[in-house]
Amino acid sequence: MPKLALTSAIALAAALACGSAAAQERTVKIYGFGAKSGVVRIFGLNSEAAMKAAAEQVNKAGGVTLGDGTKARIVIEYYDDRCNAEEGINVMRRIAAQPDAFVAIGPTCSNVAEPVFGILQKKAGDASDSGLQFPLYTDVAAKGGLASISQWSFRNVPNESAMYKSLFEWIKATRPDIKTVWGGVEKDFAHSNATFNAMKGHAEKTGFEVKGQSEWLLADTSFATQVREMRRGEADLVMVSAHPFTTCGVLKEMQRQGVKPKMLVGLTSSSSLETLQGCAAQAEGILIPTSFAPVNPDAKRAADLVGAAGASMDLHNAAAWENVFTLKEQIERAKIMARPDTIQEDRRKMREALASMRETTGLLGKVVRTDDREADKPFLFVRAEKGAWTVAHTPK
Amino acid sequence: MNATDLVDLVQSVVDGVMFGTTYALIGIGFTLIFGVMHKINLSYAAASVGAAYLSLILVKVAPTPLVYLAAALLGGVLGALIYYVCFRFLPLDKPLATLMSTVGMLLLLEEIIVHATDGMPQNYPAMFTGAVWDVGPFMIRGDLMFVFVLGCIAMVGLRLLLTHTRLGLATRAVAQQPVAARLCGMSVDRTNASTFVIAGLLGGTAGAMTGAAIGMLSPLLTLPLTVKGLVVTVIGGLGSVPGAIVAGLLVGGLENFFQFVRGVGERDIYVMALLFAFLVFRPGGLFAAPGGRD
């Protein structure tokens, strides 16, 4: 009898162990995609690192609760779209074909986001539209207004227009000596070009005189002519809407030609390690609005964890981090089952959950969701000082 | 156009001509290899930028001139490597074989740079950045002047090498009459490899000078430099070293001229239109190489 009891106990323990292992094995996959090769590879690497670090934190805290009450670990699978529209569409279709895919985060480039959103069903529930019915929660691609393309597209990117409006108003209020502005724009990059128009518009509306603008291309090797135009403009403030390579090229040329405006304003994407690595000395003092800086315990912790994963946290991958936590909440709220036989229903429920959000929790505070599926994120202004980004002002 | 515009226009063109030295060096590399082997090495500019990247290893431990020297030497090493990978064992009678192998090498080198640096721009040391000479209303920049002078020295050195050394004699002999050169006991393979090394030395110098002139390196540089190098080679005349020099300076100057007059949106259209004009009306370029091979 004791022998039978012992055998039964061992069998029961084994069964429980197996059951526990099975529960432990339950996973929910969140797909991501962005540029992991090509010249903007750093964006994809940083996003992937932030998503994985965030998923690890969720898993350490017990994982995500599915619709049937079981707990699951979040697993991140990240694809490379090379910041190329065709690749992006291929990746989107590949993800949508997976039997375990019900939501994805990405892409990193606006020139990819635009066509990818275009292959999604424009209006949810429209039977005449054969577009993909797959919810996408974008972290990086920042060109204004893209989420309006499809009701399946959602973004957690900063409202750059609002950021520059606030920035110019602050400059106007605090620096009465600045009256004139000269612009510089990387004409062949969608984000730079679109943001430049917003910058210029707000500068004019705030009462600054925009004296002119210099233009260059992303792969240009000489900026002498453009900076000479800038020098002739003799503006108090120079605003540069370009990514780090040409921003640094222009700033170095400005130094060579002795162009020293009273103030420099840069593009949101340039408030990164890249700019400091490329031209910290020339970028000294440049003022940039951003939706991330390690200014509170949560943001510092997130930056540390992403840093430990070998990446650096900036406004772009901070959104990727936030998105993973938001998706965890929405998976629980929408009672996602995450089974192959429920996947179509899960995608629909996920879209509805994302569409019904009115507010999410961001690293700098509450993020208000807008009716057009965009985000209204808290932001601050950072300034390059001695090779580091420091907070210059936090708008109330 | 007022006097200030005119001064700025002249200044822009002068800056462009001086920066055009780097285009000339890249063009010489293309034309040298074409002259000897009648093949286009499309990976040449990428290897030049790659050599400049490799020289960054020394940037913290060596003075800037040594970094430039390292770039040139590493360019030579990459040149030899490209010869053995993309040319030596491929059927040279099939033009597409080497063309495609060098396209592959171009993409491979670019992706290696991207993966090694995560695509992040890298600071590249420059010399004489603070030196500016005012000549009347014009400004001569020390850094661009340095690039120009070093480029000229490299071109003169190449000229001397081609005309006053046994290697130069062999190179010219193989370029003109490979069969006769072989009958005279010259090793065509070794001469070809040497040509790649010489072109690589120039390419490494061009990569370093480009980095110095911009102040940074980026994988974004590989494709534009390849295109500029090809434009310069065609305008100068395939196989003509003096042609590549003149065309490089011309393209640099015209680029800035059109940038000034028509803006960035149209600048490249005019440079490409010039290329088409040469292809249609003077396909041999400015200085078509005389004679040919058997």
Q: How far apart are CA B162 and CA B73, in angstroms?
A: 18
| A-B Cβ pairs (cutoff 8 Å, strict) | 105
Give A43-91 pLDDT, tens digit per residue: 999 999 999 999 999 999 999 999 999 999 999 999 999 999 999 999 9
Give A247's contacts in chain B (Cβ within 8 Å): none
- Does any CB of chain A come closer than 8 Å to the CB of residue B132? yes
Identify the residue whose tokens are 């007022």: B2
* Residue A376 host element (H or E): strand A375-376
**Contact check, Cβ <8 Å, B114/A215:** no
| Cα B294 to Cα A37, A292, B141, distances in angstroms | 45, 67, 47
- Does any CB of chain B come closer than 8 Å to the CB of residue A281? no
- Does any CB of chain A come closer than 8 Å to the CB of residue B255? yes
Token pair of B164, please? 């006053």
How much is the average pLDDT of A276-287? Answer: 92
- Does any CB of chain A come closer than 8 Å to the CB of residue B2? no
Neighbours of B179 (CB within 10 A): 11
Helix (H, G, I), strand (E, B) or coil at B57: helix
Predicted pLDDT at B138: 85
Q: Is the pLDDT of residue B196 over 80?
A: yes
Token pair of B59, please? 């940037």
**Contact check, Cβ <8 Å, B214/A218:** no
- Does any CB of chain B come closer than 8 Å to the CB of residue A310? no
Q: Is the pLDDT of residue B129 over 90?
A: no
Q: Across the strands, what pairs with A34?
A: A80
Q: Is the pLDDT of residue A20 over 80?
A: no
Question: What residues does each domain of chain A span?
Answer: 26-158+295-376, 160-290
Q: How far apart are CA B174 and CA B179, in angstroms?
A: 8
- Does any CB of chain A come closer than 8 Å to the CB of residue B213? yes
The total number of residues written for chain B in this structure: 294
Helix (H, G, I), strand (E, B) or coil at A74: strand
Q: Is the pLDDT of residue A164 over 60?
A: yes
**pLDDT band (50, 70, 90) for residue A366:** very high
* Residue A213 host element (H or E): strand A209-216
- Top mean pLDDT of A181-190, A349-358, B7-16, B134-143 is at A349-358
With a pLDDT cut of 90, the percent of chain B lying above it is: 57
* Residue B134 host element (H or E): strand B132-135
Q: How far apart are CA A162 and CA A205, in angstroms?
A: 13
Total-model pTM: 0.82
- Residue B80 backbone dihedrals phi, psi, to 5 degrees: -65, -45
CATH topology of domain A160-290: Rossmann fold (3.40.50)
Q: Is the pLDDT of residue A363 over 70?
A: yes
Q: How far apart are CA A344 and CA A28, in angstroms?
A: 15
- Does any CB of chain A come closer than 8 Å to the CB of residue B218? yes
Q: What is the CATH number of domain A26-158+295-376?
A: 3.40.50.2300
Give B16's contacts in chain A (Cβ within 8 Å): 222, 224-225
One fold for A26-158+295-376 and A160-290: yes
Q: Which residue of A has its CA nearest to B221?
A: A219
- What is the distance in angstroms between the Cα of A255 and the nearest Cα belonging to chain B? 9
**Could you tell me if B213 and B126 are in contact, meaning their C-beta atoms sit under 8 angstroms apart?**
yes
**Contact check, Cβ <8 Å, B264/A249:** no
Q: What is the CATH number of domain B3-281?
A: 1.10.3470
**Could you tell me if B203 and B48 are in contact, meaning their C-beta atoms sit under 8 angstroms apart?**
yes
- Does any CB of chain B come closer than 8 Å to the CB of residue A201? no
Question: Is the preceding omega at residue B242 within 30 degrees of 0, hence cis?
Answer: no
Q: Is the pLDDT of residue A22 over 50?
A: no
Predicted pLDDT at B144: 81
Which one, of B78, B93, B24, B5, lies nearest residue B251 by Cα?
B24
- What is the distance in angstroms between the Cα of A7 and the nearest Cα belonging to chain B? 57
CB-closest option in B220, B256, B263 to A39 = B220
Q: How many CA atoms lie within 13 A of A74 on its CB side?
A: 33
Q: Average per-residue pLDDT in chain B? A: 90
- What is the distance in angstroms between the Cα of B9 and the nearest Cα belonging to chain A? 8
Give B210's contacts in chain A (Cβ within 8 Å): 221
CB-closest option in A218, A225, A245 to B259 = A225
- Residue B26 backbone dihedrals phi, psi, to 5 degrees: -65, -45
Helix (H, G, I), strand (E, B) or coil at A391: strand
Give B67-113 pLDDT, tens digit per residue: 999 999 999 999 999 999 999 999 888 889 999 999 999 999 999 99
How much is the average pLDDT of B210-234? Answer: 91
Question: What residues does each domain of chain B span?
Answer: 3-281
